């Protein structure tokens, strides 16, 4: 597959910019222009994101769009900038960080920020080159859209452009730029930055901006607020609950983020910054997807606790505004109940159970232990179980377990609860909760290898499947099959 040659007669990319984050002032960012790349070309685009932004039909036929979304020219009305933040990386205070290779083009009138990742060096690049490579850009593009297809809050990706320009990583690779879209790219680390530098005025300005734009309910009067009218405690509480919901969705679908540093945590509870992520193949609770994570800090089963740790860092950053430590801790407290409740709600849907009762909760932990003990493929198990409930044939599910007797014992308990449900409704719920397709590492690798040779058809096929991961997509069963043996040798690290 190749995209058509840009046409001079294609519609102009005239966008309705508004101030948004840029209105906060120069303490929060540095204005700069992206650094051009030679001979850009389209690699992939998302039609649904284009619709979200209100782009005209045929926008990707425009030479102006290609150049602007590679960073080679600035669109009218756009004021590109890179924001400053700080953060904890792998549990250690890293000090000032910032958008080292991400440049915000601005915010559209509809409330969506547009950001180029890989568009060149910024004042916050910290000896980096500010570039992204085709390999990592394809992974981010696909996973952004895959997570959206799964119904998990995430930044989106409008497009990837590529260039023959070279970037040095472990080896020389070609450069690429991902156009990312989100209501906001503000992170926990933005708050940590101003708190660490005793810039309380800027900290308050940022918090007020986030509250007024995204959490207006936090301005609730004292009479109706459990926080005594303290909007900053209310903000912390709301962010904690959104983060808990996000973690429940990650864990339920078997998603490993890989780099849950505080500067990669969204203040809106979005999945942000796709680096060395992975969807589980075999269910291994302690799986580490990031080969740079030598101590396993961000292993799959540690993600919920790491999220709470990161929220605690956010609470410390907001303490000058909240003014009372006990209030700040109380604002975090609901995470400890919201996460397990939300996770259990996700698991009940995966099991086709509509009633929140102790007997259904008692099924989950033994099942997860069985999956781990038998190293069962996580996605395939849930999809086969969904079809088994629909068709009444459980043998394909039993085939996944070496210890069939143990599975049969669990199945007996499950069948007793399932008998209380409407079978057709249960099966429908499961088939819409347990995806057939996820972005496994080997699928992404196949798309990357083809794209490096100039063939983007595999990327387009995979994108189409991942946008509707619960559909059957006849003829594409290979994309939902077990990973090949070579998949275990794929190494994903922080280097991209």
Active site residues: 263
Beta bridge partners of 108: 17
Helix 423-431, helix 335-351: angle, nearest 10: 120
Separation of alpha carbons 87 and 81, rounded Å: 19
306: how many CB neighbours lie within 10 A of its CB? 19
Is 426 in contact with 417 (CB distance < 8 Å)? no
Separation of alpha carbons 164 and 301, rounded Å: 40
Burial of 402 (C-beta count, 10 Å sphere; 0-12/13-18/19+) = exposed
Beta bridge partners of 472: none
350 secondary structure, DSSP code: H
For Cα atoms 116, 317, 262, give the angle at the middle one, nearest 5 degrees: 45
- Candidates 479, 401, 392, 402; CA nearest to 435 is 479
Residues 6+ apart with CB under 8 A from 428: none
Is 461 in contact with 444 (CB distance < 8 Å)? no
Burial of 337 (C-beta count, 10 Å sphere; 0-12/13-18/19+) = exposed
Residue that has been written with the tokens 């990583």 in this structure: 169
Is 277 in contact with 258 (CB distance < 8 Å)? yes
223 secondary structure, DSSP code: G
Separation of alpha carbons 391 and 424, rounded Å: 10
Helix/strand/coil percent split, the chain, to 5:
50, 15, 40
403 secondary structure, DSSP code: -
Separation of alpha carbons 130 and 125, rounded Å: 6
Q: Tokens in use for 364?
A: 């989950």
């Amino acid at each position: 597959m190749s995209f058509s040659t840009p046409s001079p007669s294609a519609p102009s990319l005239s966008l309705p910019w508004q101030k948004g984050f840029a209105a906060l002032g120069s303490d929060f960012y540095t204005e700069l222009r992206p650094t051009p790349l030679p001979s850009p070309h389209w690699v992939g685009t998302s039609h649904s994101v284009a619709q979200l932004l209100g782009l005209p039909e045929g926008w990707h036929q425009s030479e102006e769009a290609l150049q602007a979304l590679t960073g080679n020219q600035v669109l009218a009305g756009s004021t590109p900038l890179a924001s400053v933040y700080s953060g904890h990386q792998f549990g250690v205070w890293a000090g000032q960080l910032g958008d080292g290779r991400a440049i915000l083009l601005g915010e559209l009138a509809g409330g969506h920020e547009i950001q180029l990742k890989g568009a060149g060096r910024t004042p916050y690049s910290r000896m980096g080159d500010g570039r992204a490579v085709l390999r990592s850009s394809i992974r981010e593009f696909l996973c952004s859209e895959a997570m959206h297809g799964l119904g998990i809050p995430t930044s989106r990706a409008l497009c990837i452009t590529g260039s023959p320009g070279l970037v040095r990583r472990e080896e020389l690779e070609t450069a690429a730029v991902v156009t990312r879209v989100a209501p906001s790219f503000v992170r926990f680390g933005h708050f940590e930055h101003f708190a660490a530098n005793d810039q309380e005025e800027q900290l308050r300005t940022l918090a007020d901006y986030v509250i007024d734009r995204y959490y207006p309910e936090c301005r609730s009067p004292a009479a109706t607020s459990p926080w005594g009218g303290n909007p900053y405690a209310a903000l912390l509480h709301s962010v904690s609950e959104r983060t808990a919901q996000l973690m429940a969705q990650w864990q339920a679908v078997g998603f490993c983020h890989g780099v849950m540093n505080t500067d990669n945590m969204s203040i809106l509870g979005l999945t942000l910054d796709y680096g060395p992520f992975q969807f589980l193949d075999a269910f291994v609770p302690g799986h580490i997807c990031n080969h740079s994570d030598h101590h396993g800090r961000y292993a799959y089963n540690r993600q919920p606790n790491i999220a709470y740790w990161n929220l605690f860092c956010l609470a410390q950053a907001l303490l000058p505004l909240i003014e009372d430590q006990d209030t700040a801790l109380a604002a975090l407290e609901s995470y400890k109940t919201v996460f397990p409740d939300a996770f259990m709600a996700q698991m009940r849907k995966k099991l086709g159970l509509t009633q929140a009762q102790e007997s259904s909760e008692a099924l989950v932990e033994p099942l997860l232990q069985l999956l781990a003990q038998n190293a069962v493929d996580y996605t395939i198990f849930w999809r086969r179980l969904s079809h088994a409930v629909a068709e009444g044939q459980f043998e394909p599910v039993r085939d996944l377990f070496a210890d069939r007797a143990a599975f049969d014992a669990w199945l007996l308990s499950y069948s007793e609860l399932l008998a209380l449900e409407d079978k057709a409704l249960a099966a429908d719920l499961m088939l819409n909760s347990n995806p057939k397709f996820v972005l496994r590492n080997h699928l992404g690798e196949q798309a990357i290898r083809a794209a490096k040779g100039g063939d983007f058809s595999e990327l387009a096929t995979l994108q189409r499947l991942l946008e509707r991961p619960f559909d059957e997509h006849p003829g594409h069963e290979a994309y939902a099959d077990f990973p090949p043996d070579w998949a275990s040798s794929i190494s994903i690290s922080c280097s991209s």
